[in-house]
Structure 1
């Protein structure tokens, strides 16, 4: 077992210092990004994620080693070039995990936590799920199957998580054009956290924005369309317990109560957020299409 450090724990002092610096820069630029109750909720969600993460990590390690020890196709050595391969493989896996988490309500139920804040700052990066770690790892199971050592996978997953911390800010407008073209940036990720119809379910990147450009989910941040953070319908609470589980409650209520066919009950679990069996719901694609028609109509007047 390669002895890699737990870089997330080592990064905690950096997180604190970075938030203090952002608070100072935001105040100097007269940008109001922090709200005390909201930030405390985000920090509480982060602490809960760390605590529950010990149990989730045990499940993930067991699953990765089970696949690696019994089913791996190759044995990829822990050498310099394999770290290059795992960088791209992990980022590809993250893109599809993130995209599906917006397109399937089963995964949205845990991921919605990260989008529940109506503010956008470095504390928002700490607003993490309490439940997702126990089952979203399935998107990475193909990596030990290929022959990547589980320790390498876990290290790269931590590196990706660490990278994504700094992009949760309004203190940075744009990075250099070459950087914006290849990497995920604060501008790209502000779009991802937007509830504006044009921004919904866009920019799912972890580190590399190239996947969104390749698979048609990229959206530039528009100067004329200021990002409105939060959800299409906000949850209106700072209670960490409610933030963690309110969407699970709504999911089970929609799937298992009322008069519905068995097929519709299953579809509530796997269809996108916003889907309704009676046709009254609106998906992000529908909301975006309606918004674009309205904009086009206004332009022709």
Structure 2
């Protein structure tokens, strides 16, 4: 199973909510953000971030990532997030890891996601745990991976529950028991990171009209060296069912399914994509909808 996740719940637009008495200006910026005064919020946070306040730095990173009050600039977002992450800001470590991971810097992204996982952030635990389970970019450790994803699912993260269900189809019972025991042990020793409430307005997700999907399909390349992997299943029919479910979505529409056998599991891959960048972009869209996804080179 080489599934990768992230969704609005994983890569959320949350900002730091509770501000200590010594940093009430950070809270004032959040109040402005809630009113829709994004530029005003940024104006409050910027000098605080420049002075090294990790909460303000994290919020500046989110503003640049989302394009609220400033133009979208992922490079600047990364700079601010890293400033906060280096000061042990858990949300910044996880968000930075997700940003890097989504944009193809897997090794650096996993480094930060490991830090977030060790502090119990559910989003980080899902991605890093899945990487451990698959051996993607890290030494394979299915028991530890199962433990992290179990903890993420226990905290109510829906994509983690879906990933855990896929793992349950693959991993032997003895390893699952070890994973659960390890998860319980870590829960006692790690402080559970709680995501801050989201003060921003949620954008409703709509399904693209069929005519739009047909237009996208018409521009799809017929050859390419890259695919996206959407999961690994103990039953071939489960992989086929997932492809049918996703075949109408813009990143998948018009492309082929590839059912790749690996031991006792069947991996669902979709393609072709002309480049790793194109495959990563498709995964970014699917991950934003909660569907695990990862670019892979076609063999």
TM-score bracket, shorter-length normalisation: under 0.3
Higher helix content, 1 or 2: 1
Indicate the structure with greater strand content. Answer: 2
TM-score by length of 1: 0.23
* TM-score where L is the length of structure 2: 0.23
